[in-house]
Amino acid sequence: MLRYVARRLLHLIPVLLGISFFVFLLVHLVPGDPVRVMLQDVGSPEQVERMRKQLGLDRPFYVQYASFVVRAAQGDFGRSIHTRRPVAQEIAFRIPYTVRMAVAAMLVAVVMGIGLGAVAATHHQSALDYGTMVVALAGVSLPSFWFGLVLILIFSLHLRWLPPAGADTLLHLILPAVTLGSGAAAIIARLTRSSMLEVLRQDYIRTARAKGLSAQRMVYRHALKNAMIPVVSIVGLQFAGLLGGAVIVETVFGWPGIGRLAVDAIFNRDIPVIQAVVLVAAVIFVFVNLLVDLLYGLLDPRIRYG
């Protein structure tokens, strides 16, 4: 197990280097002079030259990249062009908010998704099955910004039960978590249903049914556990995406996470912040995928790591 983890971590090194290279290219892919773009074409020649030296853009390309990798590995992403604060501090301030919303949204998604998927599978081709899948299809199809605005209209403006925006209390977390979790719940429900239907056709399930094992125990203790491996994969990917920053939902609800930070940085043409957010999101994806692979062995003892 430890050898497998060590080998996977070594394999991540070229992946992370590739990601860092493409993130670094962001500043060079900007049309025109990136420094003038960041200064919004209002800086004097002296300011342009000073910022070019500050960003290291006056040095050779390979020197710039090596410096970027070394500083990023130390958690140094430079300073924000807009706020003049270290980018690492900006991200460190925003990440706890994103983690809080992502965890709450995944709780909503997992509970709703697995529950609806299991119910649909155990009532296959019934009205309950079709109704559950219609709800799941709606959850996948509805745009998150539209669904979030509908929730604000109903629960904030009309019923006045929940605040429409902000991040001061747990009440502020409910609407963003439901909005973000509903789309993930729909995907998890569809996958849980198809995976459970496949497991319920296995010989050992028919044997357990023939031996008189109760339907509840057979489904939720045996079938559901064995159907979870593909579900864990999609849960991990969904959670990584949420941690990477739910840009639209954070913008709709005024949630101060890294997704909102990325939107503000794009409007302010703050390239150091954009680079840092993209790199952090990519690293989160990579390590969450590794964690998902390790969870497979806990769900299925037949899986062994070489």
Residue 288: per-residue pLDDT: 80
Instruction: Give tens-digit pLDDT for 257-267.
Output: 888 888 888 88
154 Cβ partners below 8 Å, 6+ apart?
Answer: none
Residue 138 lies in a domain: yes
Check pLDDT > 60 for residue 145. yes
Average pLDDT over the chain, rounded to an integer: 81
Distance CA(58)–CA(243), nearest Å, equals: 35
Q: Are 48 and 39 in contact (CB under 8 A)?
A: yes
Residue 155: per-residue pLDDT: 92
Q: What angle do CA 93, 99, 102 make, to 5 degrees?
A: 140
Residue 32: per-residue pLDDT: 63
- Let me know whether 64 and 181 are in one domain: no
Residue 77: per-residue pLDDT: 84
Residue 119 lies in a domain: yes
Residue 295 lies in a domain: no
Least confident of 81-90, 207-216, 242-251, 271-280: 207-216
Residue 302: per-residue pLDDT: 59
- Let me know whether 124 and 188 are in one domain: yes
- Let me know whether 151 and 49 are in one domain: no
Helices 271-299 and 87-122: crossing angle, nearest 10°? 40
Residue 298 lies in a domain: no
Check pLDDT > 70 for residue 304. no
- Let me know whether 103 and 185 are in one domain: yes
Residue 203 to residues 10, 191, 199: CA-CA distances in angstroms?
A: 40, 21, 9
Distance CA(252)–CA(172), nearest Å, equals: 12
Which SS3 state, helix, strand or coil, does residue 86 take?
strand
Phi/psi region, residue 49 (left: phi>0; alpha: psi -120 to 50; beta: rest), is alpha
Residue 83: per-residue pLDDT: 80
Residue 139 to residues 102, 110, 115, 173: CA-CA distances in angstroms?
A: 17, 14, 15, 19
Q: What's 242's domain CATH number?
A: 1.10.3720.10
Q: How far apart are the first and last CA of the chain?
A: 7
- Let me know whether 105 and 240 are in one domain: yes
Residue 152: per-residue pLDDT: 92
- Let me know whether 46 and 181 are in one domain: no
Residue 81 lies in a domain: no
Structure tokens at 116: 């609806």
Instruction: Give tens-digit pLDDT for 83-140.
Output: 888 888 888 888 888 888 889 998 998 898 888 888 888 888 888 888 888 888 888 7
Number of domains present in the structure of the chain? 2
Q: Using the 8-state DSSP alphabet, how is residue 255 labeled? A: -
Higher pLDDT, 72 or 43: 72
- Let me know whether 106 and 248 are in one domain: yes
Residue 86 lies in a domain: no
Residue 292: per-residue pLDDT: 75
- Let me know whether 173 and 120 are in one domain: yes
- Let me know whether 230 and 132 are in one domain: yes
Residue 290 lies in a domain: no
Residue 154: per-residue pLDDT: 92
- Let me know whether 205 and 129 are in one domain: yes
Higher pLDDT, 199 or 182: 182
Residue 48 lies in a domain: yes
| Segments forming the whole domain that contains residue 255 | 93-267
């439901």: which residue's tokens?
178
- Let me know whether 37 and 160 are in one domain: no
Distance CA(226)–CA(248), nearest Å, equals: 35
Q: What is the mean pLDDT of residues 245-258?
A: 83
- Let me know whether 48 and 148 are in one domain: no
Instruction: Give tens-digit pLDDT for 21-69.
Output: 888 887 677 666 667 666 666 667 777 777 777 777 777 878 888 888 8
Distance CA(174)–CA(148), nearest Å, equals: 11
